[in-house]
Structure 1
Amino acid sequence: MTVAVLGSGPVGQTAALLLARWGVPVVLVDEHEVRDPVGSKAICQQRDTLDVWASLGAGCLAEEGLTWTIARTFHRDTELFSLKLPDGGSALPPFVNLSQARVEEVLDELIAGQPLIDVRRGHRVTGLIQPGRVVVECETAGGTRRIEADYAIACTGARGDVVRRELGQRLAGVSFRDLFLICDIRADLPGWAAERRFYFDPPWNPGRQVLIHPCPDSEFRIDWQVPEDYDLAAEETGGALDHRIRAIIGSVPYEVVWRSVYRFHTRLVPRMRVGRVLLAGDCAHLVAPFGARGLNSGVADAENAAWKLAWVLRGDAGEELLESYHSERHAAAVENAAVTTATMDFLVPQDDGQRARRLDVLTRAAHDPAACEQVDSGRLAEPYWYPDSPLTTPDPSRPFAGRPPRGALPPPGPGVLLPDVTVASGRLRDLARQGFLLLTTPGVAAAGLRSAEIPVGGALGARPGEAWLVRPDAHVAAVLQDPAEASRALQRCRGRE
């Protein structure tokens, strides 16, 4: 049994390491011979992403990343509000900023020490053949190569057009006209090192936005919204880029570490499972970066795909379980697209009506807390919850109330990710990630499953006599009043009901 993982960015690396942890041999394919270590790229790593990486032995990423806990939002020269990120009872920070290059370096070190992962660099995917086993056709310096695998996870990123075409998929959606200039600078800016700053219509970028993120080693990433005809080379040559930076940081010395220009998109494939191939990360969905929902959602794709493929390959679930990968993660992509599209509509109004509404909201927000709730500078990444998944057993006494207020988490219940807490048996999520887990309240006998006792109440809000079935990705599959129902809930969560 083998899984081919196509693409070795952070999503592909995570998928490969998770599969290997479940004992599944992996062929990790990438078209590049060596990595490009330049530039911050995806920098905002959310707590639950850090948690996945920590479970793989990459806990240093949370330690190395720069932790920020305050998100400030300004209109012109006025601060409208600040959001303090909750600690959530976790030892992990809510967000850290760390360059994608460093994440890849750490995950590569783990991959190098994992004998179940066979890395094939310099392999450009040119074709995929199904049905039956997946055959991956690659072009290499030595000619055409064919890799056979039982299944594949496509993590080939936004430019994975060949893979999508071979699977009959297209990234449908919209691209935004305005561009965004990104500069990584190194400078000493006291007081800016633990907070994200978002500016609407600042004097030094009138009519558009600026986002500033702190990074390790006194680096700061600055994103400017710029017109669609923006010319970076001309700005650098004429000195306008220096003026642009100095308008924000003043006269302090600085060094430009990296700069680039991007156009943002909201695009989704219609199917994230096509036969024996699962699409993940930017290969399946593109969203604007405000809220940091790109990489973080891709890592959640990888974890969802890995445990389900492992269970199918081990014979512990039927292939129908893989269809839940599409239903769960495509729903997550749709929600992320909706959230980021609303943000982009507020950032880049499409008509006079939207522009007038935005100006009204921003003006009122300076003195009206109710108006602050309408200011959209990006709802920060959060896990997607699976109450409507075919794998989840509903609990009428714990109905899912929908998306909670900004910065809040829903109460634990069916479909929700376990809170990151410590119990007598150890860290709760670590226990869950060893396979299906039945959490029981005192005096309740386990139903033939790996189990751990939890106190009544506490972080879960468990009630006397209950049993909680938890999936291998630490999401609650069922809350049962009768532990004898655990076997049926388990069958449902394996896709066999």
Structure 2
Amino acid sequence: MSAEPQVIVIGAGPVGQSAALLLARWGVQVLVLDQRPGRGSGGSKSICQQRDVLDIWAAAGAGQVAEEGLAWTTARTYYRDRELLSWTFEREGPLPPCVNISQTRTEQILDAAIAAQPLVEVRWEHEVTDLTQDDSGVTVHCGQRRLRAPYVLVCAGARAQAIRAALGVTFTGETYDDQFLICDIKADLPGWENERRFYFDPVWNPGRQVLIHPCPGGTYRIDWQIAPDFIPSDADIARKIRQVIGDRPYELLWHSTYRFHARLASRMRVGRVLLAGDCAHLVAPFGARGLNSGVPDAENAAWKLAFVLNGWAGAGLLESYHVERHAAAVENLEVTGATMRFLVPRTVEERMRRRAVLEGGRVDEVDSGRFAEPFWYVGSPLTTPEPSRPFAGRPPKGAVCPPSPGVILPDLAVPGGRLRDITRDGFLVLLGDMCDSSLFVQVLGKVITAPLAVRGLAEIDGTGSLAERLGAGPDEAWLIRPDSHIAAILPHAGPESVAAAVGRALGGFPDI
């Protein structure tokens, strides 16, 4: 690395890799530290990657994840041998709603993108033992070695106890007693190639659950809930696989056991240090809300750190990282907590309710995991509310949330690519037909130093249909953040109201 790092990222897993690439995209010099001797291999680990995370990786130069992943379409849920319900994702734009791909392969793709990025250096065998900070930066202690940068982003995973302790951050929560056995197998399973299957109380795992996910290359992930004290032998594993797939040839690629955790850091920002991913929050994996929340952490942190480092916003913008992403983690814990109470009931009342729901076929109450969604910054201090555009609340499972302030911009196809392709280089103002683009450019250019573009909606697609698809009025201005979230929708908009909304979205609001 020819220059001193502006940000040190601790942890070279997918969240740390994503953060490094996104920071470099803003021209920030990044040093990534990891305590391991090098990149490990083996095991699919986190496999379900949601559409909006694929979008972030595409912006970071890792669009190959979406290209290689298996885009499953249907989720089926069974009770014993009876199908209770199925649902499909709502298709929003060019990217698939989600893909399955092993975390090992995702890390390889991100590593290749990092290798092509001169602003990022990765150093292995650097275990961080302490952090100290002052008014000008952070000193990272790696044994006897000392490294320094203006800011640090910690993506060191769940076992980052020493770092959290150094920052005075608690990590309270609980660990579930039941174990889960996961296996990666390669097999020919006709009809299962594009479906996620969830079984409550099947005859081959009575009283517990089994989850089956298709993956690329004819591979499958099978996940069994097992007893807390059960230690599966090779013969146990073979028997369990046979019970699921029958008398078919298969190859066992990897297996492991684990327990679920539900924990949340007390703070995700401490001075010049930000926490992201599993070191800040742990949730049960049903609904794939782990990595799919860690990567948005990385994106949120990256653009805010870059704006502060480049002098486009004050340091107060960094506190909004904690406000927004801590709220996202709280929601994920609430959603996954409800799922776990249904999957692993702990009280007589919870067990009776689950049995009544399953045996009565009350499909609206069956909870096998609400799939990951982007968090909507409706209550964020960066968002300008608009009474005529209220947040519609959580949409039906698999559906897309209608646009409103705080919600992520729909990823629609437009000539030459996707709508979000033009949102990643700064703030974007989208204007209806009745708005004078040249006037907005003239006024905003005098008061905003941060990167900002002004585009007419009709100009983008040349037909006027984009405004209709978004539901945008002819006199409205939509302000889009660098992470594609809608910061404001302003009816009867003028340049002054847009400038005020940009100022708010840059952290220019009181009491933060």
Structure 2 counterpart of 1:308: 304
Output the CA distance in 1 between the equivalents of 2:409 and 2:12: 28
Output the CA distance in 2 between the equivalents of 1:326 and 1:45: 23
Alpha-carbon deviation of 1:428? 1.6
Alpha-carbon deviation of 1:281? 0.3
1:53 to 40, 45, 57: 57
Output the CA distance in 1 between the equivalents of 2:424 and 2:110: 19
Amino acid at match of 1:202: P
CA contact (8 A) 1:308 1:321 kept: yes
CA contact (8 A) 2:94 2:413 kept: no
Q: Does 1:69 align with 2:43?
A: no
Structure 2 counterpart of 1:289: 285
Q: Does 1:489 align with 2:501?
A: yes
Structure 1 counterpart of 2:157: 157
Structure 1 counterpart of 2:40: 36
User: How many residues are aligned here?
Assistant: 483
Output the CA distance in 1 between the equivalents of 2:61 and 2:416: 20
Alpha-carbon deviation of 1:170? 2.1
Deviation string 1:32-82 (CA, Å, 9 cap, x unpaired) is 121111000000000111111111221111111111000000000000011
Alpha-carbon deviation of 1:426? 5.1
**Which one is further off, 447-456 or 43-52?**
447-456
CA contact (8 A) 1:436 1:472 kept: yes
Q: What SS class does the counterpart of residue 128 from structure 2 fall into?
A: strand
2:425 to 425, 434, 439: 434
Output the CA distance in 2 between the equivalents of 1:145 and 1:323: 29
Given the two structures, how large is their TM-score scaled by the length of structure 2? 0.93
Output the CA distance in 2 between the equivalents of 1:154 and 1:230: 35
Runs of 5+ unmatched residues, structure 1: 366-370
Query: Over aligned residues, Cα RMSD in angstroms?
Result: 1.1
Deviation string 1:86-139 (CA, Å, 9 cap, x unpaired) is 111x11111111010111101111111111112111100101001231111113
**Which one is further off, 196-205 or 128-137?**
128-137
Q: What SS class does the counterpart of residue 52 from structure 2 fall into?
A: helix
Deviation string 1:370-392 (CA, Å, 9 cap, x unpaired) is x2010000000011001110000
Output the CA distance in 2 between the equivalents of 1:348 and 1:425: 48
Structure 2 counterpart of 1:6: 10
Alpha-carbon deviation of 1:240? 2.1
**Which one is further off, 414-423 or 13-22?**
414-423
Q: What SS class does the counterpart of residue 125 from structure 1 fall into?
A: coil
Q: Does 1:334 align with 2:334?
A: no
Output the CA distance in 1 between the equivalents of 2:416 and 2:238: 56
Runs of 5+ unmatched residues, structure 2: 442-451, 459-463
Structure 1 counterpart of 2:203: 203
CA contact (8 A) 1:439 1:467 kept: yes
Deviation string 1:153-183 (CA, Å, 9 cap, x unpaired) is 1000011111111111122111101000011
Alpha-carbon deviation of 1:424? 5.2
Output the CA distance in 2 between the equivalents of 1:39 and 1:200: 25
Alpha-carbon deviation of 1:423? 3.5
> Structure 1 residues 425, 395: CA separation in 2 closer, same or farther (over 3 Å shift)?
farther
Output the CA distance in 1 between the equivalents of 2:59 and 2:469: 21
Q: What SS class does the counterpart of residue 190 from structure 2 fall into?
A: coil
Alpha-carbon deviation of 1:422? 3.1
CA contact (8 A) 1:419 1:459 kept: no
1:472 to 468, 482, 492: 482
Deviation string 1:235-283 (CA, Å, 9 cap, x unpaired) is 22xx222111101100101111111000001100111001101100001
Output the CA distance in 1 between the equivalents of 2:378 and 2:350: 33
Alpha-carbon deviation of 1:443? 3.2
Output the CA distance in 2 between the equivalents of 1:255 and 1:476: 47
CA contact (8 A) 1:425 1:452 kept: no
Alpha-carbon deviation of 1:409? 2.1
1:321 to 309, 313, 317: 317
CA contact (8 A) 1:183 1:221 kept: yes
Q: Does 1:136 align with 2:140?
A: yes
Q: What SS class does the counterpart of residue 50 from structure 1 fall into?
A: helix
> Structure 1 residues 423, 253: CA separation in 2 closer, same or farther (over 3 Å shift)?
closer
CA contact (8 A) 1:175 1:266 kept: yes
Given the two structures, how large is their TM-score scaled by the length of structure 1? 0.95
Alpha-carbon deviation of 1:425? 7.4
Amino acid at match of 1:210: V
Amino acid at match of 2:262: T
Q: Does 1:399 align with 2:393?
A: no
Output the CA distance in 1 between the equivalents of 2:317 and 2:310: 13
Deviation string 1:284-311 (CA, Å, 9 cap, x unpaired) is 0000000000001000000000000000
Identity of aligned residues (%): 59
Output the CA distance in 2 between the equivalents of 1:118 and 1:189: 43
Q: What SS class does the counterpart of residue 468 from structure 2 fall into?
A: coil
Q: Does 1:412 align with 2:424?
A: no
